[in-house]
Amino acid sequence: MPPRRTVLTLGYAAFVQLRLRPYEQYARARLGDGDLSRRAVARALRRTELSWSTVLTDDPATFTWRVLREAIADALAGLAAPDLDDLHRVLPARAADAALLHERLGMPMGAAAELMGLGEPELHVDLMTARRLLAEKRRAPLG
């Protein structure tokens, strides 16, 4: 039987291999800058790696999604003129994330839900919320 550390390392490597590209796509959509996006994702993944054995007792996807959002918020705070994407300007965070992943980046609902650490029904509710709020905003009078 392989040592526990090797199993943990392999598990973390597999987790990253499956999620790195979607995390980078999300970060790029939020930050608009490739280098800044890669640094934010790397910071989130490093934090996940350092906590991996603890993260495994709960849900790695949920933990990593939370720290990725924190890394992106930190990156935005460091910008002279943070330019939030329009979804995150007008929607609650989780609904904006769901809409960004599914509607803007074209990610299937199951994949988007898994990336965020949600079940598909939860993601569906977030997408419905996003659609309803965006429709209300379009109907609202200007000024």
Predicted confidence (pLDDT) per residue in 26-37, tens digit:
999 999 888 999
Instruction: Give the per-residue pLDDT at 114.
Output: 96
Instruction: Give the per-residue pLDDT at 135.
Output: 93
Instruction: Give the per-residue pLDDT at 137.
Output: 85
Predicted confidence (pLDDT) per residue in 88-134, tens digit:
989 999 999 999 999 999 999 999 999 999 999 999 999 999 999 99
User: How far is it, in rounded angstroms, from Cα 70 to Cα 66?
Assistant: 6
Residue 81 above 90 pLDDT?
no
Residue 5 above 70 pLDDT?
no
The residues, ordered by sequence, that sit 6+ positions from 105 with a Cβ below 8 Å of its Cβ are: 22, 25, 26, 29
Predicted confidence (pLDDT) per residue in 42-74, tens digit:
999 999 999 999 999 999 999 999 999 999 999
User: How far is it, in rounded angstroms, from Cα 15 to Cα 3?
Assistant: 19
Instruction: Give the per-residue pLDDT at 84.
Output: 67
Residue 142 above 70 pLDDT?
no
Residue 139's alpha-carbon distances to 62, 125, 133, 135, 142, in angstroms, are 34, 21, 10, 6, 9
